[in-house]
Structure 1
């Protein structure tokens, strides 16, 4: 298949990736996780909400009910407002809007997609993020900004969990029942509840017997750690998992805890972040339609397409830049096969990341263990 040396073994990498995939596939499926009930119920509690919150049941009708107040619900609500739909109700079990950015407030939280692309409605709100890659606090604040700008708080039901949605054929309405005893009728219901709002606890031996303090990163317990983690100074801390969350919070834990143990199953891909503050002159020069053009440019390039320029110019789009070189190393039909080319481009990018591990980590055994 290869005409010249690609400096890596594609077949070997495919075998390695298949092995890693196999480690994730389990016959017990989602039952491998511990249900957050009983003594584990605290893992799912909302640390940001008023535990004494209560209100009277609501019995009314709206045009559109949006289940979930993350970006999906906020964007839908915003566009409905722009179209003149005033009877819109957000319903979310959290105490505020924001979705995953409401729940996840662990130290170091940030987004690895460029903020000018990731954060929605920037032009509509006249806002430009302060950094190329925004931190979680700024993204969460932007969620609140969207809700305020489009008056989505007005009829919102927060700290409210939907128990049932049932179609009522007699009046052609959806009947929404909640944990507050609400009976909300809606002409339309949009589901925007996402899949990142519920923590998962690994069903590992000993999890029910561990006597130390435990919490999930998506429900960070600042009462225990302190706002700047100063209360961990005399603690031995263990963190299970090395995904994006761990990559972001481990440096903070390592600086603050007396001792830190990181438990890794599968290494993460960690590239150069290359974050920087937004250039005020660049922000002032932006023309109408700039965000839409940037989003479309990013989507084209990350999908393997071609564009006259790379507006984002980061690790995500750099993979596409490898495609012309990769295609020169493919024979026959594979040379025009987009999937084959993208696979090799991704392999090449991952080789760059593995080389970075070698350049940083002195101990060879440790370096090999950290290579994705």
Structure 2
């Protein structure tokens, strides 16, 4: 299978495409709000209780630390765990992970709502399976299994030894004299580290809708990322028995709601699902792991499987689709959002036509599935997504759509009111009608693509006290997305100025492995600093600009969501336009052919670039 040659599709006339484009545009316009992301508010200040940690010890305390470690890692999710594991494999003994939560897990620590599973196959999503010696029990693992695997990584690589949980980093400041970072936290710590890796994630800050009256509702409320089992009863497997006499409102119908709704519908006396835009809901077909298959796996199986999936969804060719799920069967459609060198031999107009025709058929299939599973025609019509496939992250469920056949479940469409109008002391108002409820659950997601560093909530001061915000006042400047001139030994994991994919944990592992290789080279050479030159930064920025795909037109036609900045698409992409497979190959080549010498500063063996006076 290859994406470089568009697969044959049943013919679609230009008139059919034109009619569908008009429908998509009309549905988009019903939902666009002029304030964009300002329609949301952070779970902080008077709403800070929505982000409180329900799992950690509220009485926890410790003495401030003023010690020294070789590597400090900000964030204990999979990014931080992978950085710690790969650094440990590179020989770094003194590693400290700093994490706001009470344990490792990141998003899987915070999110424990009913029905939570990964939407990427667990055999390629859960990292370091061979290193830990584990094979997941399901093709799509439940959240608790993933959270326990995160803890297993921490134990396997001895990352608990120096970890600081329930600790938020408040500042990073470079000490020029000592060539190390001073790490300050909300627990009074003032520790030092030769290297700092930030892996605070891009789905860590819960957001709430800015609905008028949100502070006046007198019933119970919580965000799905802090599920209140004390109120609902049950656990992540369901049985929310305390809702048997409750009227429940769920606001939001994205990936989380797709998993939550079946359990709420099964257990609540009444469930009202407030939807602005329906998700695409494809087949999940989850199943237990075959023990015979698990026992047959040869060393290197996970890397082979991950690379196979990444190649497919990035538009490349493979002899066999090893994962064979709804992601890979629609792989060519990902080119609309995450372009790569797929279709490289096809003229742009022909490429776009092929993608649009494939999209036409896939979305008709998604909408036909709604008709097949939802009994009431009016409800089915409201659940049909009218937009291009990659306008929103696809979702997968074998139970969500069927839940709307229950007599106690009501779908409330809010498209024409651009969302919920307001809350009262007793309920939710849409279209002038009040729906009286006992509990409101916000399934409204997270700030996306915003880390503490990029948002400024984690101040960073580099050489000569230079604030990162000032250095980036005209936009981010990095080499390969990892490090910046003026900020030595600081490595950032995330999607900025590199390449991404739907299986982001695989991307994080490639990033962590690269950082570990760079640190290992610095340790071998005795380099005081790892830091790119201004010229290297400028060259990479030019590469990003040259190769960045122009997604503005596609996003502008999409219904609002986090992929298109809530209907305000960004004019410029900060991703490497050739895609993740090419980017990972570029990094390997860079390391092999002398690139490391470009970032090792004041190395004892004479390697590395020497600064001029104006570079100081």
In the superposition, the TM-score normalised over structure 2's length comes to: 0.56
Q: Greater CA deviation, 355-364 or 63-72? A: 355-364
Q: Partner residue of 1:52?
A: 59
Q: Partner residue of 2:381?
A: 368
Find the aligned partners of 1:340 and 1:4 in 2 and give their Cα distance: 11
Find the aligned partners of 1:168 and 1:28 in 2 and give their Cα distance: 41
Find the aligned partners of 1:335 and 1:35 in 2 and give their Cα distance: 41
Which of 36, 47, 56 pairs up with 2:43?
Answer: 36
What are the Cα deviations for residues 129-172 of structure 1, in whole angstroms up to 9, with x where unaligned?
00111111111111001001000010001000011111111211
Q: Partner residue of 1:237?
A: 248
Pairing 1:119-198 to 2, within 5 Å after superposition: 119-198=126-205
Find the aligned partners of 2:32 and 2:175 in 1 and give their Cα distance: 41
Residues 77 and 39 of structure 1: is their aligned pair in 2 closer, same or farther, counting only changes over 3 Å? same
Instruction: Please tell me the root mean square deviation across aligned C-alpha atoms, in Å.
Output: 2.4
Q: Is the 8 A contact 2:31 2:277 kept in 1?
A: no
What are the Cα deviations for residues 296-339 of structure 1, in whole angstroms up to 9, with x where unaligned?
1101111122111000001111114799xxxxxx9x96488555
Q: Is the 8 A contact 1:64 1:88 kept in 2?
A: yes
Find the aligned partners of 1:155 and 1:58 in 2 and give their Cα distance: 11
Q: Is the 8 A contact 1:320 1:345 kept in 2?
A: no
Pairing 1:82-101 to 2, within 5 Å after superposition: 82-101=89-108
What are the Cα deviations for residues 36-94 of structure 1, in whole angstroms up to 9, with x where unaligned?
34442210100001111111000011111110010100011001111111111100100
Q: Partner residue of 2:604?
A: none
Find the aligned partners of 2:109 and 2:372 in 1 and give their Cα distance: 37
Q: Partner residue of 1:305?
A: 316
Find the aligned partners of 1:282 and 1:300 in 2 and give their Cα distance: 23
Q: Greater CA deviation, 279-288 or 355-364? A: 355-364
Work out whether 1:64 is the aligned partner of 2:77.
no
Once the two structures are TM-superposed, the CA of residue 366 in structure 1 deviates from its matched residue by 1.5
Which runs of 5 or more structure 1 residues have no equivalent in the other structure?
324-329
Find the aligned partners of 1:194 and 1:278 in 2 and give their Cα distance: 29
Which of 195, 208, 227 pairs up with 1:201?
Answer: 208
Find the aligned partners of 1:284 and 1:320 in 2 and give their Cα distance: 29
Q: Helix, strand or coil for the counterpart of 2:214?
A: coil
Residues 8 and 61 of structure 1: is their aligned pair in 2 closer, same or farther, counting only changes over 3 Å? farther
Q: Partner residue of 1:105?
A: 112
Find the aligned partners of 1:254 and 1:187 in 2 and give their Cα distance: 52
Find the aligned partners of 2:348 and 2:197 in 1 and give their Cα distance: 43
Q: Partner residue of 2:280?
A: 269
Q: Helix, strand or coil for the counterpart of 1:307?
A: coil
Once the two structures are TM-superposed, the CA of residue 25 in structure 1 deviates from its matched residue by 5.7
Question: Would you say how many aligned residue pairs link Structure 1 and Structure 2?
Answer: 364
Q: Partner residue of 1:220?
A: 227
Q: Partner residue of 1:359?
A: 372
Find the aligned partners of 1:340 and 1:362 in 2 and give their Cα distance: 34
Residues 195 and 8 of structure 1: is their aligned pair in 2 closer, same or farther, counting only changes over 3 Å? farther
Q: Helix, strand or coil for the counterpart of 1:248?
A: helix
Q: Helix, strand or coil for the counterpart of 1:116?
A: helix
Residues 10 and 118 of structure 1: is their aligned pair in 2 closer, same or farther, counting only changes over 3 Å? farther
Find the aligned partners of 1:23 and 1:62 in 2 and give their Cα distance: 54
Find the aligned partners of 1:130 and 1:89 in 2 and give their Cα distance: 31
Q: Helix, strand or coil for the counterpart of 1:277?
A: coil
Once the two structures are TM-superposed, the CA of residue 27 in structure 1 deviates from its matched residue by 4.5
Q: Helix, strand or coil for the counterpart of 1:294?
A: helix
Q: Is the 8 A contact 2:313 2:332 kept in 1?
A: no
Q: Helix, strand or coil for the counterpart of 2:330?
A: helix
Which runs of 5 or more structure 2 residues have no equivalent in the other structure?
1-8, 335-342, 386-616
Q: Greater CA deviation, 6-15 or 245-254? A: 6-15
Q: Partner residue of 1:294?
A: 305
Find the aligned partners of 1:29 and 1:190 in 2 and give their Cα distance: 32
Find the aligned partners of 1:13 and 1:67 in 2 and give their Cα distance: 46
Once the two structures are TM-superposed, the CA of residue 196 in structure 1 deviates from its matched residue by 1.5
Work out whether 1:349 is the aligned partner of 2:362.
yes
Q: Is the 8 A contact 1:304 1:342 kept in 2?
A: no
Q: Is the 8 A contact 1:20 1:266 kept in 2?
A: no
Q: Greater CA deviation, 213-222 or 296-305? A: 296-305
